[in-house]
Amino acid sequence: MALASNHDLYKHHFLPRPLDRLGDQSTQFYLMTTEGPTDYLFTSTLISDDNVWIMISNATESVLRLERTVDIWSEVSFGANIVSKDRGLAAATDPITGSIYIVNGGVKNGAKKLFTYNNALNQYKEIGQTVPMDSGFAGSWSVERERMYIHGGIQANVLQSVLYEFLPSNDAPLIQFVPTSGDAPTARQGHCMVSAYGGAKIIVFGGFGNGNTPLGDIYILESNSTKWVKGTDGGASAARAHTACAVTNDLLWPVVVPRME
């Protein structure tokens, strides 16, 4: 289950949607968690057992943890100028090793780096890789391919449609460009990206293209061939940006966060 945050924090339960199209979004159900930190565009991911939600607080430069089974928040601070203050970054968890990777999530000697967080040891450190995008990119882990895919974002105020992959070798971890084929997503930022079927497919949904109008389209990356296939557009009513989505079995669940008075 993917979780989303804005100024209020929720656990989300959704009606299922087929992977390549969206349906009626009017009857989603939400349960509010214990009140958490106030921030927006959190970088976050679930650890391998899905019982702890890890997020980076850009405001406090710390790691926040929600223990979902007991609904309790905790905070780990690493001091100034270690955690990136940038918003709209991407994070993913390798469910086999439990390693959490935050792309451009840390700072070392003034330079952005890819950082990793070990929840069991409360360790957050730089591992020396980065992507050229400034923010707005999305990422997801593929168990089948044993790597993280990173897509889109903004670089020098220009939207991107490029796909990268992170290969977490112990000896020489690497982020590199991935050539693709097929009907690729247009340039965008603020979209969601989620793994399906153990990472055999990577789903991209929504985000902002040129202008401030959110997108409602779906693209599916076949990770073995790196070929893109376009799904059925959800249309204007389904369009979302800076949202979260999740996949269970054959179902894509995008988030519609209700207005709280």
Angle at 87 between CA 196 and CA 105, to 5 degrees: 75
Whichever domain contains 164, its CATH number is 2.120.10.80
Tell me, what's the pLDDT at 31? 65
> Please, are residues 238 and 252 in contact by the beta-carbon 8 Å criterion?
no
Q: What is the mean pLDDT of residues 21-50?
A: 67
Helix, strand, or coil (residue 136): coil
Whether 38 maps to a domain, the answer reads yes
Whether 99 maps to a domain, the answer reads yes
pTM of the model: 0.84
Could you tell me what percent of the chain has a pLDDT over 90? 33
> Please, are residues 116 and 129 in contact by the beta-carbon 8 Å criterion?
no
Specify the number of domains making up the chain. Answer: 1
Q: What is the mean pLDDT of residues 144-164?
A: 95
Residues 6+ apart with CB under 8 A from 67: 51, 52, 73, 74
Whether 2 maps to a domain, the answer reads no
Range of the domain at 160: 10-254
Q: How far apart are CA 210 and CA 249, in angstroms?
A: 33
Whether 128 maps to a domain, the answer reads yes
Q: What is the mean pLDDT of residues 102-124?
A: 80
Whether 221 maps to a domain, the answer reads yes
* pLDDT range class, residue 21, cuts 50, 70, 90: very low
Q: What is the mean pLDDT of residues 53-76?
A: 81
In a 13 Å sphere around the CA of 8, the CA atoms on its Cβ side amount to 12
Q: What is the pLDDT of residues 215-246, one digit of tens each?
A: 999 999 999 999 999 988 888 888 889 888 88
Whether 259 maps to a domain, the answer reads no
Q: How far apart are CA 37 and CA 77, in angstroms?
A: 14
Q: What are phi and psi of 197, to 5 degrees?
A: 55, 45
